[in-house]
Structure 1
């Protein structure tokens, strides 16, 4: 994968924090495939999307957490971690960035809000092929056996058949045993969203506060989307992009609108 004969460098990050079980399992999944360097948030950063830290200092500390692996924790967001890794730790772009393994789904519209996926997208913006991995299990006791197995297979495929520098893949793994998974399905992002509302409550001082809640709604019946794949015990893999241009609408406006 690397343009030279040196051992490829794999950057590992996440949004659940450097102490999360998911990142430890991702490290084990890719161990031996290259030189692994970990740069991850020092605390959970779920739902941060593509946020970056401005107006306050960023802290970066080397830690000893994973045997034989250079590891750093950062006070900032997942995107901050990727930026700092390239500029201040590696002093070059890694050959691959992997993010996760996230505790919880990042299918459909979740990709917009996900810190896991935003770290991967930031890497792709920098010309680094990247993959975000998520397991559909929020439990701290989640079983990552199938995730480790398939994460390694997918990373090996990307390294053997590199699809390009600005590529980012969104991989979601159903929370079922390895022998129940039907394989990997290349999908599109489902048309689905959360129907959200805010619960109003009062704190002990009588002051109002609000708590976001919501129910996931899938409007997509296609068997080629990620939600369908996951519901049917497939691993979903969606190639995503950071170019948000609606080209069909662009062409329509150019044709129909008059100024």
Structure 2
């Protein structure tokens, strides 16, 4: 008797027609039964936002006629897509959720803003092994071919070994030819931040408006971080936990006079 293929939920934050998700779908079709539920428009930097003050629409579509996956476009956020998939659209719980491939980095502090990673985290909160994938190239003409080898490797290993409870994976892939990628490094998140500025302008009607700008500052010189791995030609893999408790701080705060 042939073994049943794993059910793989695919989503993203760049939108259902983005080249990154199409590359991810292509790889997933070689591994399992694929269902895609993704935003109908770009939802980058939405973080873990959900839709509560508006209605959600979800349409069955076919982006590529020759591909076997089932696809739904959703009017909501990446997290909405996961919630709808699990609670309304699928007849069983997925064996894996993969999100991406994001156009651009989700390393270091970027993970907290990322709709790509928030979709993976949402699936993780309900016990679905989940991976977010990002390529360090923001271009719509980005070459995802070198990433496919590492996507397939990570997914197969995850399906075979599972993930620790409460953990999802944040995988970032450098913008390099496959021959120049040195391998995979399991890392910690670098201690870095954005020094943000707002570019203030005035429109023709005299109303002020703002564009968010900024500079990424990496203060972390460690050679065990995602930023170091990517800068040195490695795929970075950071295990991310969605329990945000700062356990190391509990003892200190218990010394406060809180009675």
Q: TM-score over 0.5 for the alignment?
A: yes
User: Could you state the TM-score of these two structures normalised by the residue count of structure 1?
Assistant: 0.96
Runs of 4+ displaced beyond 3 Å: none
Mapping of residues 1-259 of structure 1, within 5 Å: 6-66=4-64, 67-164=67-164, 166-254=166-254, 256-258=255-257, 259=259
Q: What whole-Å deviation, never above 9, does each CA across 1:109-128 have from its counterpart, x for those lacking one?
A: 00000000000000000110
Q: Distance in 2 between matches of 1:47 and 1:253?
A: 32
Structure 2, unmatched stretches of 5+, are none
2:108 is paired with a residue whose SS is coil
Query: Contact 1:97/1:130 (CA < 8 Å) preserved in 2?
Result: yes
Q: Distance in 2 between matches of 1:191 and 1:60?
A: 38
The two structures, once aligned, show a CA RMSD in angstroms of: 1.1
Q: Distance in 2 between matches of 1:37 and 1:64?
A: 12
Q: Distance in 2 between matches of 1:165 and 1:228?
A: 27
Q: Distance in 1 between matches of 2:212 and 2:37?
A: 30
Structure 1, unmatched stretches of 5+, are none
Q: Quick check: 87-96 or 162-171, which moved more? A: 162-171
1:211 is paired with a residue whose SS is strand
Q: Distance in 1 between matches of 2:200 and 2:161?
A: 51
Q: What whole-Å deviation, never above 9, does each CA across 1:131-185 have from its counterpart, x for those lacking one?
A: 0000000001101111111100110111111124543100000001000001000
Q: Quick check: 84-93 or 112-121, which moved more? A: 84-93
Query: Contact 2:29/2:69 (CA < 8 Å) preserved in 1?
Result: no
Query: Contact 1:128/1:165 (CA < 8 Å) preserved in 2?
Result: no
Q: Distance in 1 between matches of 2:149 and 2:4?
A: 26
**Count of residue correspondences:** 254
Q: Distance in 2 between matches of 1:234 and 1:190?
A: 15
1:109 is paired with a residue whose SS is helix
Q: What whole-Å deviation, never above 9, does each CA across 1:162-213 have from its counterpart, x for those lacking one?
A: 1245431000000010000010000000000110010100112111001000
Q: Distance in 2 between matches of 1:253 and 1:164?
A: 28
Q: Distance in 2 between matches of 1:145 and 1:8?
A: 23
